[in-house]
Amino acid sequence: MGAGDLEPGRPLPPMRELAARLGVNPNTVAAAYRMLRERGVIETAGRRGSRVRPAPATTGRDHIRADVPEGVRDLSSGDPDPALLPPLARVLADAAAEGDRAPVLYGQDPVEPALARLVRAELDADGVPDGPLAVVSGALDGVERVLAAHLRPGDAVAVEDPGWSRTLDLVPALGLRTVPVGVDDDGPRPEEVRRALAAGARALIVTDRAQNPTGAAVSAPRARALRSVLREHPETLLIEDDHGHGVVDVPLHPLAGATAHWALVRSAAKAYGPDLRLAVLTGDAVTVDRVRGRQRLGPGWVSRLLQRAVVRLRTGGAVDPAAVAAAYGRRRDALIRALAGHGIAAHGRSGMNVWVPVPDETGAVARLLHAGWAVAPGARFRISAPPGIRITVSTLAEEETGPLAQAVAAAVEAGPLRSYV
């Protein structure tokens, strides 16, 4: 394998056959196969035997997109509305001036005390169990660090399907296996979570609100059902992504505490801008200690300057969370109503995206692009879920809603895209 003679997907000989060929004890081959499986080099599928795993993706799903020509309205990005983001220059300057009076040196607390107090009060208000805090470089950085703190290559992770494309890329890139779990407007379906955990998934990743791409938000009844499932599997590593904090108008119903090891991460990206690269993570003591310990051996800490800037943004009224949530809500609801008027069901309970199930997403994306609208193909977000398209409504103007809905209806009703090759 190290020489590259065995290509990804190549089946391996049965263990007894290989042992006979090499003249070694079958137990030796079994131990080697087990080690390769644990390291994520091979995968075993019951009676179908073992085979070399595909190489982890480095480019990921970002290539699954339609190029946006000049003059086409781009609703495919997933970005927040720049008009709803605060200007950062003055805030960063003020935070830097504050730091000049007390510079941060090596060996100091990696978490800004003012940020810790602010975040802990917010988490308490949302019913998140008490736990230590860590500051990481964005939500995905936090998810990666928690997975690495507990899992080994070859372990299975239950992920939302459809779900955030970066998460779907990250899990296999770490040598882990994805197990898809279906999602509806209220979050992951409990029966599918139960099935995934019973089949051996060691971790579950849940988006609490503003799920990308469907806009799902975990409701109170769904949270109770999911906590019940998790209590049946208390060894499960639970990771909650609450990136919608500050831009959604639905309450948080956390699952944290239903298992021994858990983490909840909140990013500043959607409310204050992706370039801040900052998220706060809490969890059980063992998980957070492992995350912070590994962080010390790499970047050390996330800039306390950025942490102070986030404190100023949150306490200085730079963003009105209710107004931002209402703006995104109006745009989502308007598009969903307009689509319903054409007989098309769409999903978008929270956040800045609308998910539209379609029979032929390639054809729908191509026809919409031809009509002047760029949307994201559902293949970027799916494993085994039915096809769909994601429309980012963060910058959608009121007068655009009707024409867009009409264009979506025409693209869907046209049927599968024909090939004339």
Give the residue range(s) of CATH 3.40.640.10 domains in the chain: 89-315
Q: Quick one: which of 247, 232, 238, 169 has its CA closest to 198? A: 232
- Determine the Cα–Cα distance for residues 361 and 339; give it in Å rounded to an integer: 16
68-84+320-413 fold = Aspartate Aminotransferase, domain 1 (3.90.1150)
| CA-to-CA dists, residue 350 to 18, 125, 211, 247, angstroms | 54, 20, 8, 9
CATH architecture entry for 1-55: Orthogonal Bundle (1.10)
Instruction: Give residue 401's pLDDT.
Output: 98
Instruction: Give residue 419's pLDDT.
Output: 44
Instruction: Give residue 98's pLDDT.
Output: 80
- Determine the Cα–Cα distance for residues 43 and 9; give it in Å rounded to an integer: 9
Instruction: Give residue 47's pLDDT.
Output: 66
Instruction: Give residue 50's pLDDT.
Output: 83
Q: Which distant-in-sequence residues (6+ apart) come within 8 Å of 32 by Cβ?
A: none
Mean pLDDT for each 10-residue chunk of the chain (421 residues)?
Answer: 63 86 84 70 72 66 80 95 94 84 84 96 97 97 98 95 96 95 98 98 98 98 98 98 95 97 97 95 98 96 95 93 96 98 97 97 95 96 96 98 98 67 33
Q: What CATH number has the domain spanning 89-315?
A: 3.40.640.10
Is-contact 73 372, C-beta < 8 A?
yes
Instruction: Give residue 10's pLDDT.
Output: 80
Q: Which residue has the tokens 């494309």?
A: 165
Give the residue range(s) of CATH 1.10.10.10 domains in the chain: 1-55
Instruction: Give residue 420's pLDDT.
Output: 35
pTM given for the model: 0.87
